[in-house]
Amino acid sequence: MKTSLNGRRWPPVFFLAAFLFHSAPGSTEEHFFTRLDSFSWSEPVTIDAAINDWQGAFFNGQRQFSHTRFDFGLRFQNWEISAQYRRDISLRFSRDTAEYYYLSRNHIAVDPERRFSIDLRARQAETLGIRLGSIGHRWHRIELSGGISLFRAKQLIDGYIQGTERNVDVDYLYSKDVLFERDVPPPDGYGVSFDLSLNWSNLHGTTINIAAVDLPGFINWQHAPFTRATANIDQSHIDEQGYLTVEPLVSGIEGSRSNYWQHLHPQLHLAATHRLSHSINALFDYRYLDQNHFAAAGVEATARGNTFGIRYWAATGTVDICFRRAGMRLSIGADSIPLKDSRSLWLRFEIGGTSR
């Protein structure tokens, strides 16, 4: 299938990008910067257990994801250019799916009369490329910045598994066939992503920062392998100790799609502060990530140019400790100590940046 942009109406974001990249007067100071934003969450098991084939305590749940973005680059005048690495993994599943997988991986006895509803949606991509940004465009009390990232992608997974514990339908694209171990050459992926940030403040000590990524964002995969099949698991049985053993019988088609467009889910981060006194601020944060909503509240205090803060993210039970000073910020969060027992991990740092 061939895709052409001829005759397509460009969305408003492209006109906004044209405005942002029009040069504007600014500081001539040049300096390097680096920033990392990483957030991982696993509902059914700890992150450590998720890495180690679900060997550990089971809490059940319906979501697992990990999103990491790292930039290192140079800022000059109203421009910045950086090398950028991203890795995005997203799993959404039913509670039955999580329990069924946990029981099978840990060889736990299963009630022979028990029935499971299987529903799993998976998305993954890993990218490496460059980002060009334009920063510091002021209009009254608003400061607007934006950027475009161009990258090469690998590690494709996009599709679903749906059915019952006896019979499931599989339809997914991949770089490596993790289900049926089909030997295939990996596809070529190239993508683009637009990002936008807005800062606003007033005379009463309130500051709001809104940052959005993948507005839009997508990857074009060329020669992407796929499998569309039905797996009959009637061959599964319970052994003498009551352990589940699965021996699926698979039928379907395998092939390669000449062009596949993988759309990246938008990400949004809103961070607000309000001055309570000359050295203390109230904090509020909201994140829309992996089609999930997260909100946090906290407080920060400043002394001798150093600011220390703490926030609580209610949806994940995560406590986030943050520190910042001129040109540098650091945030570390987890829902449990020791970190081996955590199901939520957050790490963010920035050196030479401009964000709050």
What secondary structure, in 3-state letters, does 143-187 show?
Answer: EEEEEEEEEEEEEEEEEEEEEECCEEEEEEEECCCCCCCCCCCCC
- The string of pLDDT tens digits covering residues 127-144 is 999 999 998 888 888 999
> What percentage of the chain has pLDDT greater than the value 70?
87
Q: Span 283-295, mean pLDDT?
A: 94
| Domain-embedded: residue 1 | no
Domain hosting 72: range is 12-266
Q: Is residue 338 part of a domain?
A: no
Question: Is the model's pLDDT at 289 over the cut of 80?
Answer: yes
In the chain, how many domains are there?
1
| Domain membership flag for residue 296 | no
In a domain, 254, yes or no: yes
Residue at 3 is within a domain: no
Q: Please say whether the dihedral angle defined by the alpha carbons of residues 183, 185, 190 and 195, taken in this order, is positive or negative.
A: positive
Q: Is residue 302 part of a domain?
A: no
In a domain, 16, yes or no: yes
- φ and ψ at residue 234, rounded to 5 degrees: -65, -15
pLDDT greater than 90 at residue 331 = yes
Q: What is the pLDDT of residues 200-221, one digit of tens each?
A: 998 888 999 999 999 899 999 9
271 domain residue, yes or no:
no
Q: Which residues pair with 222 in a beta bridge?
A: 188, 259
pLDDT tens, position by position, 18-73: 444 444 444 447 889 999 999 999 999 999 999 999 999 999 999 999 999 999 99
